Structure 1
Amino acid sequence: MPPVVHSFDPPDRFVAGTVGEPGARTFFVQARSGERLVSVALEKQQVAILAEQTGELLDKLVQAGDTRTLVPALAPADLVDNGPLDNPIEEEFRAGTITLSWDPDAERVVIEVFAITAVEADPGELDPTGEAAEPEPEEMLVVRLTPGQARAFCARSETVVDAGREQCPFCGGPMDPGGHLCPRANGFKRTAP
């Protein structure tokens, strides 16, 4: 059965956001075109890495200078989006693998987010190289962004990731409102200033 593909080319809005209090937040990427809305849950690290890698891809395109479309060095002011996630926030699926690429013909950043798939060990299913065959994803999100939209996504994502709990000044770990057991303090509890 072919996977369900949620495709946006380009979306009206593509943002990262969270639901919940720092320390217990659920991260989402959300794509919207008109009334169609797709929300995909992912890990904080996935958002951080996607934003970082997208920024690096855009920086390489700026340095190469061989695109017909302007690739902005910063998020264009008219594309900055600090609004909350759109409601209703209903998780379509949880993200597993995420791919990032550049489509030189359409001059779009392409982000593909694949649903986590359950892997069942079946030694009889091997691909031509003799490795275990990858299961086909059941669902995926494909977003094709203009360079300006991609730069705005990076800026917002970095803000969302950094908006979590305060970091301990000694070990760098996250501190809950009541403090945390700091490994650099030999197990003594440190509290937020």
Structure 2
Amino acid sequence: MSTVDLGDVDRFTVAALGPVGQRTFLLQCRSEQTVLTLKVEKQQVAVLAEYLGRLLRDLPRPGHLPEDLEVEEPVEPHWVVGTMGVSYDAELDRIVLIAEELVPEDEEGDAARFTVTREQAAAFAVRATRLVEAGRPPCPLCGGPIDPSGHACPRTNGHRPPTN
């Protein structure tokens, strides 16, 4: 497994490209001249945002949050994220993130390690939560996404599908 260690990043953000229901989620960070763009699933974004929010609640309040969170070129992902790990380094006052490439079980993929400030993590969590919530609402019965045209909920056996 080859690991890219970006250290402290200058920028850490998330984006959702495309129409609702067909969006591609991207996690992006920049360290000096290196821009790393990774494809992630919506659920991964939601879980990461929630986890960062919980982690930040137990730490000193962040200062001013970064505002320029638009993704930059290149937006073509380097690879797809399979797993992510998050920890807090109290000595450096940094949140450490490790993203590992999604690969078949018998293969080794790439990994990226980078650290973010509490402010960057908070801004990411806010932006990520807004992006996730802007998508299709979940079905109250099965939790699956409801398209504008409705959805055939497996919990109703196809009868009276919930609508948006």
TM-score with structure 1 setting the length: 0.73
Q: Match of 1:79? A: 66
**What are structure 1's unaligned runs of at least 5 residues?**
63-70, 121-134
Q: Match of 2:19? A: 21
| Aligned pair partner of 1:165 in 136, 141, 146 | 136
Cα distance between partner residues in 1 of 2:80 and 2:121: 21
AA matched with 1:61 = L
What displacement does 1:88 show? 2.6
Cα distance between partner residues in 2 of 1:183 and 1:138: 36
Cα distance between partner residues in 2 of 1:79 and 1:167: 30
Check conservation: 2:15, 2:27, Cα contact below 8 A.
Answer: yes
**What are structure 2's unaligned runs of at least 5 residues?**
none
Number of equivalenced pairs: 163
AA matched with 1:80 = E
AA matched with 1:116 = L
The structure-2 alpha-carbon separation of the partners of 1:172 and 1:96, relative to structure 1 and needing over 3 Å to count, comes to: closer
Check conservation: 1:8, 1:31, Cα contact below 8 A.
Answer: no
Q: What do residues 85-122 of structure 1 show as CA deviations (whole Å, max 9, x unaligned)?
A: 212311111111211011122110111111123223xx
Q: Match of 2:98? A: 112
AA matched with 1:181 = A
**Superposition CA RMSD, Å:** 2.3
Q: Match of 2:40? A: 42
Answer yes or no: is 1:155 the counterpart of 2:155. Answer: no
Larger radius of gyration: 1
Q: After TM superposition, where is structure 1 displaced by more than 6 Å over at least 4 residues in a row?
A: none
| Aligned pair partner of 2:84 in 73, 92, 98 | 98
SS at match of 1:24: coil
Check conservation: 2:38, 2:79, Cα contact below 8 A.
Answer: yes
Q: Match of 1:5? A: 4
What displacement does 1:35 show? 3.8
SS at match of 1:23: coil
Check conservation: 2:151, 2:163, Cα contact below 8 A.
Answer: yes
Cα distance between partner residues in 2 of 1:169 and 1:3: 42
The structure-2 alpha-carbon separation of the partners of 1:167 and 1:99, relative to structure 1 and needing over 3 Å to count, comes to: closer
TM-score with structure 2 setting the length: 0.85
Cα distance between partner residues in 1 of 2:141 and 2:102: 36
